[in-house]
Structure 1
Amino acid sequence: MKITLELINELDFSKIVDIVNEYDSDFLVQWAGLTYKYPLSVEQMEEHYNRGINTKEGNAYVYKIKDTELGRFIGSIQLARFDEAKKEAVIGRFIIDNKFRGKGIGQAALKHLVRLGFEQFELNRLKLNVFHINKGAIKCYEKVGFQQIDVNPKLYKSSTGEWWDQIQMLLSKKEWIHNQKK
């Protein structure tokens, strides 16, 4: 399956809401931190992105992950929290529809976003946060070249009473270029 990233618009929020709400409140926290309340709604997303999306003023570029063969929306990923002084941004709100997981789509989408971050946005560093329980995501991030740089222990207590550690990961442009030559 071939995928592409395309900037979303507010009409795509309902597709993201549908994917996220297939899961529980703990999953919502994995996906978006404590930004939203479960169940996710289009109205919550509109309020969160009240400065807009896909603009410098909105400080978030949100992409739909699309199957190029079927033209189908299969997930989303965002690049946000730009720090112009450090030339870095944070990757987040990354989700693949459950029916398409385990097929390498996440890794392909992340590689595409990393390329955009370093080439189009001319960033020097990309960061992301992930909870330690999300082993599949961590494996995906590491395959793309991200490395763990910090851990915030016991950041979130799940509905089952389990404490989750948050792992911060980083990929520098220099490391990314080096990995491209391999």
Structure 2
Amino acid sequence: MYTGRLVRLRRVDPVRDLEDRYRWMNDPAVTDTLGMRPGRLSREEIRQYLELSASSTQSHVEWAIEALENGKHIGGCTLRNFNHVARSAELAILIGEGEYRGKGYGTDAVRLLVQVGFEQFNLNRIWLIVNAENAAGIRAYEKAGFVREGLLRSYGYINGRYYDALIMAILRDEYRAGKGRCA
């Protein structure tokens, strides 16, 4: 378990987290930022995913995000697609509970996950892909020290149109220089 200013990261629990995840995967406000259609995943598929995530592998580690003030499960985050030679991994996050978006909870979770990536997993680079129209997400990543590295044109298709995505990353040296440290 890891604790920041606003959130705590705990290991996923397939039983405890299932209904929240299922609800979030049926919420267009969540799925649009992920480039998915709402309802694409069944309750059973989400349960299987959570069970796999709870067992963590060398290529995928997932946490549930809880608000410190009340212990509410508000989202999830993961380090995945580990490249053990290059010491890099992809970061992904979702804040499923709407009332917690845009209030620093996502930024705090990203900062914690970056800290875990560099200090626990000895990574050199943490990267992510974000919908170029997801201004709140981009702002949270930049506050956590990520920089824009490139643009993936027509990366995904949602709601009847293509969207571009940004590749963003933070390097270990940037983190050490204080760019991504937890405040």
Could you tell me the TM-score, scaled by structure 1's length?
0.84
Distance (Å, rounded) in 2 between the aligned partners of 1:54 and 1:89: 18
Could you tell me which runs of 5 or more consecutive residues in structure 1 were left unpaired when the two chains were aligned.
none
| Contact 1:128–1:170 (Cα < 8 Å) also in 2 | yes
Distance (Å, rounded) in 1 between the aligned partners of 2:139 and 2:55: 28
Structure 1 position 47, deviation (Å): 4.5
SS in 1 for 2:129: strand
Tell me, yes or no, if structure 1 residue 30 matches structure 2 residue 33.
yes
The residue number in structure 2 matching 1:15 is: 20
Tell me, yes or no, if structure 1 residue 86 matches structure 2 residue 91.
no
Tell me, yes or no, if structure 1 residue 55 matches structure 2 residue 56.
yes
The residue number in structure 2 matching 1:176 is: 175
The residue number in structure 1 matching 2:73 is: 73
| Contact 2:79–2:90 (Cα < 8 Å) also in 1 | yes
The answer to which of 80-89 and 6-15 deviates more is 6-15
Tell me, yes or no, if structure 1 residue 98 matches structure 2 residue 98.
yes
Alignment of 1:118-137 (within 5 A): 118-137=118-137
Distance (Å, rounded) in 1 between the aligned partners of 2:51 and 2:72: 26
The answer to which of 163-172 and 94-103 deviates more is 94-103
Residues 91 and 66 of structure 1, relative CA distance in 2, 3 Å threshold: same
Cα displacement string for residues 15-56 of structure 1 (whole angstroms, at most 9, x for unaligned residues): 1221232226xx52532x56x873433322345567554422
Cα displacement string for residues 58-99 of structure 1 (whole angstroms, at most 9, x for unaligned residues): x22111111223121111111111111111110114224101
Distance (Å, rounded) in 1 between the aligned partners of 2:145 and 2:6: 21
Residues 101 and 93 of structure 1, relative CA distance in 2, 3 Å threshold: closer
How many pairs align? Answer: 176
AA paired with 1:18?
A: R
| Contact 1:79–1:89 (Cα < 8 Å) also in 2 | yes
The residue number in structure 2 matching 1:164 is: 163
Identical residues among aligned pairs (%) = 25
Residues 48 and 64 of structure 1, relative CA distance in 2, 3 Å threshold: closer
Residues 100 and 174 of structure 1, relative CA distance in 2, 3 Å threshold: same
| Contact 2:10–2:64 (Cα < 8 Å) also in 1 | yes
Residues 61 and 98 of structure 1, relative CA distance in 2, 3 Å threshold: same
Could you tell me the TM-score, scaled by structure 2's length?
0.84
Distance (Å, rounded) in 2 between the aligned partners of 1:148 and 1:54: 32
